[in-house]
Amino acid sequence: MKPLLLHFYVTCRCNARCVFCDIPDNCDISFSEELPLDKAADIVKQAKELGVRFVDFTGGEPLLYNHLPSLLKIARSLGLYTSITTNCILYPKYAEKIKGLVTYLHFSLDSLDKNIHDSIRGVKCFDKVMESIKIAKHIGEKPDLMFTINENNLSSIGEMAHFAKDQKLILLLNPEFDYSGNNNSFNADFWKYLRSYSYKPYVYLNYGFERLHKKGGNSIINPRCRVIDSTIVINPRGELVLPCYHHQLETIPLEPDLKTVYNLEQVKQYRHRQGRFVFCDGCRINCYFDPSFCYGWDSYTMLSLAAKAKYVFDKYIRF
């Protein structure tokens, strides 16, 4: 079975301190250990040969990785779909350099109230997001607005949906998750509220993820996670991370190369146990379930496809 996604953590560094993310403070990989362009490009090329169709360059803040524009260009030249999510602090500086190279460009925006947004992000960056939206639209880009929802900004959803429609940009409803899978604050009323907005123009919610959350997350008895099947996870040092970044048990240097490592017996053992580890019980880490829903045909698959069909209509067809 071929993987669909390369989840490439190009850096752990970040110029924000978001309340829901501990990657910049808990990562032991320094700037000096980040990959040079040639090695990063080799990983992307080998992932393509393994069947990958999408590559998400993430972090940390991906725009802090010096070689990102060149790496994006290489990925696109290989026919890969690319994505980045940025807090926009550096986007005005890099907008022209990455123009046309990012298939799915995501701007983090958590509220139209400047104080709420900045408090969630841990730095003053709201003005940079607004500036970045103007710049992106001016140069012909159509960024999505990544709305990470928690109890502090849930009431903002109405004005956020209105803003997205006014800007003709997709609002991605992204319920905040915790790594332990124990966040039960999103109850039935929460999902009913989100669903009522998900039908509106320019608003996206993965209905498959909604169903998973309502069922209590992943079950280790009958797991829905297909993280090893669907996703190749690489850290900034250029190592394969198993089983996933947020619950890594092992990292394997890519020696002699990614293709060889990916087919090792120990990787096959992780594939056999994907979604079955103790920490997998109740997991709702949506960046892995989104591609997982493409593996196996069930209600999660159909709901996820329905949501993606609406996304395509809103982004490329709706006027």
Q: At what angle do helices 207-214 and 299-312 cross, to 10 degrees?
A: 140
List the one residue out of 194, 149, 141, 148 whose CA is nearest residue 167: 141
Q: 253-285 pLDDT, tens per residue?
A: 999 999 999 999 999 999 999 999 999 999 988
Q: Which residues of 1-23 are buried (b: 16+ CB within 10 A; e: fewer)?
A: eebbbbbbbbbbbbbbebeebeb
In 10 A of CB 194, how many CB atoms? 19
List the one residue out of 205, 133, 127, 131 whose CA is nearest residue 166: 133
Give me the CATH code for the 5-317 domain, please: 3.20.20.70
d(CA 211, CA 303): 8
Geometric angle at alpha carbon 239, from 238 and 245, rounded to 5°: 110
Provide the percentage of residues in the chain whose pLDDT is more than 90. 82
Peptide bond into 24 cis (omega under 30): no
Does 23 or 202 have the greater pLDDT score? 202
User: 111: Cβ–Cβ under 8 A, 6 or more apart, which residues?
Assistant: 117, 120, 153, 156, 160
Average pLDDT of 69-80? 98
* Residue 184, pLDDT above cutoff 60: no
pLDDT value of residue 178: 66
d(CA 39, CA 220): 36
List the one residue out of 105, 74, 110 whose CA is nearest residue 91: 105
pLDDT value of residue 179: 54
CB 112 within 8 A of CB 156: yes
d(CA 4, CA 229): 8
pLDDT value of residue 119: 94
Where do the domains of the chain lie? 5-317
Structure tokens at 207: 């209905």
List the one residue out of 41, 73, 79, 55 whose CA is nearest residue 4: 55
Residue with tokens 């120990």: 266
Q: 231-249 pLDDT, tens per residue?
A: 999 999 999 999 999 999 9
* Residue 180, pLDDT above cutoff 50: no
- As a whole number, the mean pLDDT across the chain is 93
CB 203 within 8 A of CB 288: no
Residue with tokens 């250029």: 238
Structure tokens at 192: 């009913």
Average pLDDT of 42-55? 98
DSSP 59: S
* Residue 230, pLDDT above cutoff 90: yes
Confidence band of 27 (pLDDT split at 50, 70, 90): confident
